[in-house]
Structure 1
Amino acid sequence: MIKILLTFWFFLLGSAVGSFLNVVIYRLPRRESIVFPPSHCPFCGHKLSAKDLIPILSYIILKGKCRYCGAKISSRYPIVEFLTAIFYALVFWLYGFSFSTLKLLILFSMLLPVFFIDLEHMLIPDVITIPGTGVGLIISLFEGRLAQGILGSLIFGGILLLIYVIALLILKEEGMGQGDIKLGFMLGSFLGIKLSLLSLFLSYFIGGLFSLLIILIKGKDLKTAIPFGPFLIIGALISLFFGKTLINLYLSLF
């Protein structure tokens, strides 16, 4: 019973964090402060009251519209709040009060804004990935695996950098954004060597399948720009939760 109540508390905590992450997602690409001014409607500029800022519920109660001007509110807001709430609750349910829980919650809280910002603006903010790499290395130090964090960062980011340089030399164009490379350095600092390699494979595999679907369904060509950051993030999260199982399953085939 206590664990259920604590899990619900983490759900509420996650929804509140998600509400803040929505501010980050909206303001960072616009180079606005994430602290000032207080939350307001992006259409009419009216300052939002506490009853307008209840995570998930406010969107439902207001039927997805601003209370003051009636403008439609993006569905991204409740989606981000719900995803964060579910992730926080799930991680606590699986790992309880542990360093692993803290690590996963910190990482997810940095990755979710990157996911949606890159999806919408094809931009990965340095203000998240560069400090994020430092955070990953500090966590690796506390875990007693600093060498793994450093090598993972160099391998993940280094391989993406190599692909970037090869694309420039051979195709005379960028094969990916520089933000993806910095994100790779950050992810590697959390993942270590083996999970970094697995994450890279999964990212390209999932990204390739998605690109193929886009080409088949929408008739786009191979040069259509598709943000790669979300696939790097998906690959990393799969590796964190299921990496050891996937690696052992692969090795059992031989």
Structure 2
Amino acid sequence: MTLLSININKIALLRNSRGRNYPDVDAFAARFLDLGAAGITLHPRQDQRHARYSDVESLGALCQQRGAELNVEGYPSREFIDVVKRNRPAQCTLVPDAPDQLTSDHGWDFKKDGAMLRSVIDEFKALNIRTSLFVDFDNTDIPLAKELGADRVELYTEPYAEFIGTPVGDEILKGFADAAALAQSAGLGVNAGHDLNLTNLGQFLTIPGILEVSIGHAVIVESLEMGMDTVVKQYLEIIRQSHLAHKPV
């Protein structure tokens, strides 16, 4: 079954805006886990404008206590690599973010960045840290991620979210399905994330074999409207229904 990982960055952004530990990132992460999320995602950017490297340690301890997975996302600067190695999260998702980038908006070029990625993956593999690489759905080089040593890829889903419901929406969804199949045929696990929400997740999960979805911005906005309990329950029901749809009759 697809696992739901809640990206906690927007809670950290609110905390940082007031200069003290309110809202408490760890407390909100614990509540999401209590509501049924399988894991927590954290994306500390190089300027640490929301999630901080110190959050990796505290959330790692929380997830370990709860038997949940921590997924740490980010650009593999030396500082980021050292933080990940020191805290050993269940998964690290490498993302090609520039230091001043507002949000993630593209995947890796495996041919251009392959040597660097291989070196980082080797460091993580030595510590049994599962590694995922952020990738565009139309990247025909997806199988190269396996050759670089990655365990998974994370499909960057903003193009799906942008075009679903438009005349080209079905074509875009097929492109994502083809990308997932290409990755799976190469022996890679497939995660997905970016701009997934309660409205579009169900259709995306018609794609078989999605192991994890990482959702943050939408969860926080939807929780402001409907409450955390209601929102997480709805996500889990969407995932449950997709799992039933894929089960053999």
TM-score by length of 1: 0.27
Query: If each structure's helix is expressed as a fraction of its own residues, which one has the higher value?
Result: 1
Choose between structure 1 and 2: higher strand proportion: 2
Greater C-alpha radius of gyration: 1
Q: Which has the higher contact order (CA 8 A, sep 6+)?
A: 2
